Amino acid sequence: MKKSLTLEFCDIAIYDNYLVVIMKEGVNLKPEHNSVLIDVANKYYTDSEFVYITHRINSYSVDPKIYYETAKIENLKGFAVVSEDFKAKSNAEVEKMFFNKPFEIFYKLDEALKWANDLINR
């Protein structure tokens, strides 16, 4: 791991090919939260592509419009949702419709990590 960040609304673990984000319980994720992701991308992935992995351990809501802005991050190669919760996975299926880059849903984190590395190394 390169770096670990603890923010008001999430924890971010930054690696070479991906970042893993765990949102805090009860957060309502809105488009304005994208400025944080853009800052992280600009700081840690200036010359490389990366995959965003959200590990949905806690319950929180996402405004699907957030994906229109997220998709504009040029070096963002893909997006993965990891959850064992049926409702979270169902919500991710809806969110997927708002994102125009590779977007996958996984049951286990290690599956998402493998997918992210494969996506970057294509």
- pLDDT tens, N- to C-terminus, the chain (122 residues): 789 999 999 999 999 999 999 999 999 988 778 888 889 888 999 999 999 999 999 998 888 888 888 888 899 999 999 999 888 888 888 888 889 999 999 999 999 999 999 999 98
Among the listed residues 94, 92, 97, the one whose alpha carbon sits nearest the alpha carbon of residue 112? 92
Q: Considering Cα of 122, then 96, then 32, then 68, what sign does the dihedral take? A: positive
CA angle 14, 10, 85 (to 5 degrees): 100
In single-letter form, the type of residue at position 73 comes to: I
Alpha-carbon distance of 108 to 106, in angstroms, equals: 6
We find that the CATH architecture of domain 3-120 is 2-Layer Sandwich (3.30)
Q: Which among 55, 54, 104 has a CA at the least distance from the CA of 78?
A: 104
Tell me the per-residue pLDDT of 14-29, one tens digit each, with 9 for 90 and over.
999 999 999 999 999 8
Listed by start position, the domains of the chain span 3-120
Say how far apart CA 39 and CA 89 lie, in whole Å: 27
